[in-house]
Amino acid sequence: IIKLSNRVQSVKPSATLAITARARELRAAGQDVIGLGAGEPDFDTPAHIKQAAIEAIDAGFTKYTAVDGTPELKRAIIAKFQRDNGLDYAPEQILVSCGGKQSFYNLAQAVLDPGDEVVIPAPYWVSYPDMVLLAGAAPMLVQAGAEQQFKITPNQLRGVLSEKTRLVVINSPSNPTGMAYTAEELTALSEVLRDFPRALIATDDMYEHILWPARAPFVNLVNVCPDLLPRTLVLNGVSKAYSMTGWRIGYAGGPASVIKAMKTIQSQSTSNPTSISQVAAQAALEGPQGCIGEMLTAFKERHDLVVERLNAMAGIECLPTDGTFYVFPKVQGLIDRLDVVRDDLELAEYLIEQAGVALVPGSAFGSPGYARISIATSRDNLERALERIAAVAA
Ligand code: PLP
């Protein structure tokens, strides 16, 4: 028997990827499974972005680049932070990585030690707790259910912060809940954070652009409280806004010392992100932004359809969101009504095997009794999936 590291045994594979894999398996076996598990837009990468990459290949831009990203892409990121977020960064405050996932991974490896605590509001993006565990630190989960719009309160934050807190994670708009903190809510949280100067803050703005117009403009913690900037990492990427999940480009802006440490981690793991993807990301950030609006309109229409239909089903309650391409209905009532399932994990299993609908159980995000439905699929697929779920609920 081959002994695996204690480190790898402390974590689990991404649950969202597992559901997508199971749906693919069933489909390959000839079953009609509608996938509502995807964590990526169903749109193609815009043509001008693909064209930039093709030209980069033709021009022979296919070699190592600087570990932390090409100067051109870093310039585009700095301009983006100025334009969209009113933030001014110098080049040594920017790190380009292989997706937003690697940005957070680098951060965890760069700042966390055993004994450190990381505050993570739940429901959370599946990877935060496991990346914290891989760094040897302890995730401190703060539960925020539908009754509080899935957002943590200042009192909850104060209750969990301590001298051991090394990092606080804010993800708004949120995967999986689709909720975004308002400027007032962020201000209230930052008043608590001011009392704990040792804690770094990570604001994960990955879904910044997927925010309904009525909820715009986007604000993050450092927009409302610039005094927190010296200890805040702003994480973002091109994956979701430009439908570029496969290109693997994420980026971080923050204090130069932390960015430098993250770069050191990256230099001893992946080195630079793919040269071609960096050119594509630059085209995304510098090119026309109309593609985002087109996606947003489609997502909002689907959101309205799905929220309305779900709420008409017995045992399901679904809050309208502020953005993203997820909704996070409470399904506990349905679980209670069905004799054959005991919890959200069994419900997800039942739906995929018996009804041909793949969604991700809330437990994967730290919130049992809920489910995440991705609306990043065609309206037709959504209508058919909703009919199937309604049949189970009836
Ligand atoms: N942050 C959040 C909240 C996400 O939902 C995701 C992707 O699912 C990421 C970061 C990472 O994105 P990627 O590594 O694909 O750029």
- CA-nearest residue, atom 12 of ligand 1: 100
- CA-nearest residue, atom 10 of ligand 1: 100
List the CATH number of the domain containing 10: 3.90.1150.10
Widest Cα–Cα separation across the chain:
62
Distance from the CA of 131 to the center of ligand 1, in angstroms? Answer: 13
Q: Say yes or no: 146 and 107 in one domain.
A: yes
In a domain, 1, yes or no: no
List the CATH number of the domain containing 235: 3.40.640.10
Using the atom order of ligand 1, give the atom closest to the CA of residue 174: 3
Q: Is the CB of 362 under 6 A from ligand 1?
A: no
In the chain, the number of structural domains is: 2
**How many angstroms separate the Cα of 212 from the Cα of each of 215, 292, 382?**
5, 11, 19
Q: Say yes or no: 275 and 343 in one domain.
A: no
Question: For residue range 281-329, what is the model confidence (pLDDT) as tens digits?
Answer: 999 999 999 999 999 999 999 999 999 999 999 999 999 999 999 999 9
Domain end: 254, 286, 318, which one? 286
Instruction: Please list the ranges in the chain whose pLDDT falls under 70.
Output: none
pTM of the complete model: 0.96
Distance from the CA of 105 to the center of ligand 1, in angstroms? Answer: 11
Contact criterion met (CB below 8 Å) for 314 and 389: no
Q: Is the CB of 245 under 6 A from ligand 1?
A: yes
The answer to whether the complex's ipTM is over 0.95 is yes
Long-range contacts of 286-290 (CB under 8 A, 24+ apart): 286/76, 286/79, 287/46, 287/48, 287/49, 287/52, 288/48
pLDDT score at 22: 85
Length of the chain, in residues: 394
Q: Say yes or no: 101 and 193 in one domain.
A: yes
Contact criterion met (CB below 8 Å) for 352 and 22: yes
Q: At what angle do helices 290-311 and 379-393 cross, to 10 degrees?
A: 20
Question: For residue range 204-238, what is the model confidence (pLDDT) as tens digits?
Answer: 999 999 999 999 999 999 999 999 999 999 999 99
Q: Which of 172, 175, 248, 324 is the best mutation target for the ligand 1 pocket, counting ligand atoms within 8 Å of the beta carbon and taking the most?
A: 175
Domain end: 286, 318, 343, which one? 286
CA atoms of 295 and 297, how far apart (whole Å): 5
Q: Say yes or no: 100 and 212 in one domain.
A: yes
pLDDT score at 259: 98
Q: Say yes or no: 297 and 204 in one domain.
A: no
- Structural domain including 251 reads 47-286
Q: At what angle do helices 100-111 and 127-134 cross, to 10 degrees?
A: 40
Q: Say yes or no: 31 and 51 in one domain.
A: no
Distance from the CA of 206 to the center of ligand 1, in angstroms? Answer: 6
Q: Say yes or no: 260 and 130 in one domain.
A: yes
Q: Say yes or no: 224 and 202 in one domain.
A: yes
Domain end: 261, 286, 311, which one? 286
Tokens representing residue 197 in the block: 């100067």
pLDDT score at 17: 74
